[in-house]
Structure 1
Amino acid sequence: MKTRKRTLYIVIYLVVFEVFIGVLEYFIGVRSFIPSVREAVAGQNPFGFNGLLYYSRVSGLSSNSSVFAIKIMVSLMMLQFLGPRNKKEGFFLYGFLGVGLLLTFTRSVYVALAAFFLMINYRRIIRAVIRFLRGKAKWIYFAVISIFISGIIFLISKVDVLLQQMNRGMKKVDLSSRDSVFQRFSEFFWDNPWLGNGSYKLWIEINGKVFHAHNVFMQIMTTNGVLIGSMYFLMVLININRYNINYIIPILIISLFQYAVFWGISFVDLFFFSFLFMTQNPNFCKTNDSLKEA
């Protein structure tokens, strides 16, 4: 078990190294140091176009910024599972990975991580509210609540700026072409509901560019059809339990907007199936205690 823990920490630090590369890319003003990736993700807008974070996001050593962001997301989840070995390491890892999330600016990852940290902390939140209502250490909770409310008020005052950033400067809700992609893949599915694309990964050309579905559920069903595709989801559903649900649900959330899992053998696939199957043993899920044993 100690070997497993060391290996997982090595993976986390490799992602931290990629974040360091991403920081360098950001300050130099390039999307990627890899020429082929830089050309593929450059699009028609220069780095930092109109001061929007979307056009300043970097790819690290990944094929694009979304893949990079999902790596960071999984690393944060794994770090939460393992627990930092000391406070300094925890401060460094959470802080540096947080910087990486900002520089990759992937909205679906933000939503999935928000759900993750809410799921793993909801008991603490409830206990804090109960303690506050019972009158214990009210001044501490009052200070925390005051800071939280002040933060909300500040965000509300900057809502126009936030919406501009989240929508890439567009006036309507921006889906990064997903509306067109979802429509085309939906049409293909209804034309081929039972066998899909014969279990060959489906790609569709739209306006001269080739797209996957940007949605795991739609990608599986269009690729495999209902007969085989439903077995994928059944396998996931019957293996979700109270020990791994906090780690599986966020990945399923991001799967609504990204082709994150069931890619083949990807970074996210490895951790997704590790959580799905290795955590069937309750003792394995006692996080630090189980990993410190052996």
Structure 2
Amino acid sequence: AGASVTVPARRPDKAREELAGIANVEVAELDLADLKSVKAFADSYVSSGKPLHILINNAAVMANPETRVGPNWESQFATNHLGHFALVAGLEPALKAANGARVVSVSSTGHKLSPIVFDDIHFQNRPYQKWPAYGQAKTANSLFAVELDRRGQAHGVRAFAVHPGGIMTELQRHLPKDEMIAFGWIDDSGKIHERFKTVEQGAATETWAATSPQLNGKGGLYCEDCDVAQLTQPGTSRISGVDPHAVDADAAKRLWQVSVEATGLDLFKG
């Protein structure tokens, strides 16, 4: 309550329509698949002089047909991870200025679909598969929080990853109805399975990770259902917990270096 909120959006006009009537909200243009757009947004925010106490990296694409962006990057990894990495890098001065900030990256139980295939992140030497591509992008969201927290805490910045739960939104726009029926997400009539959350319920864990005093002095954690997730083993629970590959400190450091080399950006270096 009482927060001033900036909502970056790829389609600002649509965002303004959705947010009409909500106080203390402004909309700005941002396309995470375009690093020039990311830089323009970050530069504008930093030049405003406003500190940034909470940053929620919430944008995502899921299981889309093979798409290339930027320098031939696979679009799910580029949008879901590299764009957010560049955004946080650009907003570093505003995060430091808050003298106590949190960065929440929205991951997913989808991280269980694949670790990061460091030898071929962008599917240049193997056939593109939409679900492994999504899985490694969501793993990247979690690993980013691990290493960002390690680097950022000396500057008053803590980081968390969040699985908001299954929610039916435009995220599923690339999935045919038959596929969602086969997954048990909907029935033949299109009714959504009861395990799915509403948007408001899904936002609860993001808000908790961003604001809860229960997490004071903590960071680098993967959260779900307004709690810290339990560590699970691959092949056990598909819909809850976090697999070890998504919170592995060495993999997080390796991902950071890959991200620096890809974007030409770095942050919290000392």
TM bucket, shorter chain: under 0.3
Query: Over alpha carbons, which structure has the higher Rg?
Result: 1
**TM-score (normalizing by structure 1):** 0.22
TM-score under structure 2 normalisation?
A: 0.24
